[in-house]
Amino acid sequence: MVRWGSGIAVLAAAVIWWRPSTAVTVAGFVVLGGALAGVFPALIALTPVRLGERRAHNVISWQVGAAAAGGAGLSAVIGLLIGATSLAALGPAITILAVIVVITELILNRLAPVRQPARFASSRG
């Protein structure tokens, strides 16, 4: 969910930046929203698997707080950018943010990979 959602988000953001037509750009926003809708919940759900149950509660609290602060802060910065330039700055801004999501997800997988559940050894009899 995280990897596919992030990858699709980059493509949708690039379509928004490209702006081939109004209908395609609006469709890009719809696809972007759908692609990113499951990323945050999936990251939260994977936290206990990545870090263990004991640390998960504290880390999830930080994740939720960072998401709220980041959502408000990034929206404000992009709004200021659009105000200083034009609405055309929105496409490049969200494309860059989508690429950052992909990069951070790849880094996260290196630093704290999802541990696979242990498989039961089959008994031979």
Domain count for the chain: 1
Which domain range does residue 88 map to?
Answer: 2-111
Q: How far apart are CA 102 and CA 82, in angstroms?
A: 24
Average pLDDT rounded to a whole number, residues 101-109: 94
Q: How far apart are CA 43 and CA 35, in angstroms?
A: 14
For 74, phi then psi, to 5°, come to: -65, -40
Question: 114 falls in which pLDDT band (50, 70, 90)?
Answer: confident
In-domain check, residue 123: no
Q: How far apart are CA 3 and CA 39, in angstroms?
A: 8
In-domain check, residue 33: yes
Read off the pLDDT of residues 42-81 as tens digits, 9 standing for 90 and up: 999 999 999 899 999 999 999 999 999 999 999 999 999 9
Average pLDDT rounded to a whole number, residues 114-120: 64
Question: Residue 116 region, left (φ>0) first, then alpha (ψ -120 to 50), else beta?
Answer: beta
State the pLDDT at residue 115.
Answer: 75
C-beta neighbour count of 61 within 10 angstroms: 10
**Mean pLDDT across the chain, nearest whole number?**
92
